[in-house]
Amino acid sequence: MSKQPSSMCPAFGAVRNLLRMEDAMPIVISSGDGCLYGHTFVAHFYVANRPIYSPGVSSEIWAKGSAFDELRAMVHEMAEKHQPALIPICSLCVSDTVGLPFDLLPKQIGNTEIVYVPLPAYSVHTHARAKDIVVDSLVWRLPPQRKARAGVNLIGEIFPSDPIKIDEVLRKIGTHVNTTVPGPRWADYVAMVDGALNAPLHPFYSESVKRMKMKQGLPFVEGAPVGIAGTYRWITAVGHALDLDPVTVEGVACEERERVRGAMAGYPLSGLTFMVAGYEGHEFLLVRLLIEAGASVPFLSTAVNANPLARDEEKWMIEHGCTVLYGANFEDEIGALTDRSYDCVIGTTPLCAHAKELGIPSIYYTNAIATRSMVLADGATDVLALVMQTVRAKDRYERIARFFAEDETKPERTYTSWAPKIDLTSELIAQNAL
């Protein structure tokens, strides 16, 4: 039984975010070629077709300690030749264990910031945590907060056009979006020093938020403008934190709430049971949306650990019959899945594979949900439309499950993947198929 939460190699979370930064040239110090191959493979498939730079590693190189000399030479060469805004140095398991003297690297070369990002996967544990470490490492480098401040710093993984939509609403109540992190440029982070309020939109970048609280001295508003009550609550909380005109704020909050309510009315989910498993804290928003649309969500399984940012939302979920499983792993999820029958599973790759085997319509959280906006009225419709469409495919999933089940009348409700139970060799030999 694995005790680790289900997660991609945690370090990939960091590599991913850094590779998406337009003015960064990340260096990945891998643990070996197998490790680097994996990161390169998935990065080029999911993230960007951009070069990934690494010093070569081998047992001899580690033993001699020559990796650091090579790294230092690389950093200087890259900074001098290309002058990017950032050279993040992702130090994975072996290099972080061996303990390369990263302190000896310059903090800046010309206009380039050199940032050490410690990512020993064995202690980082989750993909989510690694993303947090990146933001934390970058926030650590920020200059002190400016005295004259305005606007809201959005913190979280959101759809690219979400800040524009949120900005539109915020302008109605007398403020605006100042910047969004993680963002595609170093300047997006530096801009945080101008903001008057930090808004972590999902319970995710908890360490970074801790650092921000230490460093910036700004008020915080948690949650996001998602769902009916969620939208109203978030807008009023922002208004309150920034001491904006309460009448205007109340008016706008009510107006947006009604728009969301109207949009959601077309997608009633009552009578349907969902299981949701995610790993970036984003799933809290989805569960809220599903419950507000009338669905029953008995379990939210999340790879994030219990953290203060999730406290209010968790309370709301418990009130609505949803148990939150923090730091959940695959076995926990399978266990929860077999407890009762579900109409739809939105979760991780192995969980969905299992659910499909049982004939339950399922979609992979990252591919399907994370590619959509969830905020305000448009976002609600976008996500709920997808959910409805998936639920409606139940017949198709059941048909396939029946076909592949050993007893074609009924799919088995046990975990049988990846290994057929019966040995078909004799049968195949009898038919000259082998």
Partner 1 sequence: MSQIRENIARKELSSAVVNTPIRKRVTDLDHAGGDTGAMQVFASLRDANVVLDGPVGCHVMPAVAVINYTDSIPYLQNVTCSELSETEVTLSGTLGALKAKVASATAQGRQVFIVSTPVSELIGATWTTEFAEVPGSALFFDSHSLDDDEWKSRDRALLFLWQNRDHFIVPEIRQSAASGKPRVNVIGPTYGNFNSYSDLAEMKRLIAGIGADVNLVFPFEASSFDTPRLADGDATVVMYAEYGASLAREVGKPAFFAPIGLAPTTTFLRELGAALGLAAEADAFIRAEKATTLRAWHDIWRSTHSDFFANAPIAIVAPPTYMDGLSYYLGEELGLPIVFSAYRTGPESSPNELVRETLRELSPSPMLVFGSINERMIVAQEKLPSRFLQCSFPGAVVRRATGTPYVGYAGAVWLLQCICETLFDVLFANLPTSAVPPEKARVPTKDLMREATAAVESHGKGQNSVTAWTAGAKALVELTLKRVPFFVRVSVNKKLRSEAEKIARERGVVVDVAIVEEVTARYSPNR
**Are 363 and 352 a contacting pair, CB within 8 Å?**
yes
In the complex, the smallest distance separating the C-beta of residue 316 from partner 1, rounded to whole angstroms, is 28
Tell whether residue 424 is a contact of partner 1 (CB under 8 A): yes
Q: Which of 50, 125 has the CB closer to partner 1?
A: 50
Stretch that binds partner 1, among 2-10, 98-106, 278-286, 351-359 (CB under 8 A): 351-359
Q: Which of 2, 426 has the CB closer to partner 1?
A: 426
**Any residues with CB less than 8 A from the CB of 139 and at least 6 apart, and which?**
181, 189, 192, 208, 211, 212, 215
**Are 160 and 134 a contacting pair, CB within 8 Å?**
no
How far apart CA 355 and CA 191 sit, in angstroms, is 44
How far apart CA 144 and CA 142 sit, in angstroms, is 6
Contacting residue, 40, 305, 338, 349, with partner 1 by CB under 8 A = 349
In the complex, the smallest distance separating the C-beta of residue 121 from partner 1, rounded to whole angstroms, is 22
What is the chain's alpha carbon radius of gyration, rounded to the nearest angstrom?
24
Q: Which of 168, 339 has the CB closer to partner 1?
A: 168
- Which 163-202 positions form the footprint of partner 1 (CB under 8 A)? 163-164, 167, 176-179, 184, 186-188, 190-191, 193-195
Tell whether residue 217 is a contact of partner 1 (CB under 8 A): no
What are the structure tokens assigned to 27, written together?
């260096």
Tell whether residue 215 is a contact of partner 1 (CB under 8 A): no
**How many other CB atoms are there within 10 angstroms of residue 293's CB atom?**
22
In the complex, the smallest distance separating the C-beta of residue 105 from partner 1, rounded to whole angstroms, is 16
**Are 224 and 201 a contacting pair, CB within 8 Å?**
yes
Stretch that binds partner 1, among 208-216, 250-258, 282-290, 350-358 (CB under 8 A): 350-358
Q: Which of 163, 278 has the CB closer to partner 1?
A: 163
Q: Which of 313, 343 has the CB closer to partner 1?
A: 343
What are the structure tokens assigned to 98, written together?
């061996």
How far apart CA 293 and CA 275 sit, in angstroms, is 15
Q: Which of 31, 180 has the CB closer to partner 1?
A: 180
Tell whether residue 416 is a contact of partner 1 (CB under 8 A): no
Pair type for strands 112-118 and 177-181: unpaired
- Which 40-99 positions form the footprint of partner 1 (CB under 8 A)? 45-51, 78, 81-86
- Which 388-407 positions form the footprint of partner 1 (CB under 8 A)? 389-390, 393, 396, 399-400, 403-404
Tell whether residue 379 is a contact of partner 1 (CB under 8 A): no
Tell whether residue 325 is a contact of partner 1 (CB under 8 A): no
Distances (CA, A) of 337 to 7, 32, 70, 225, 333: 18, 37, 49, 30, 6
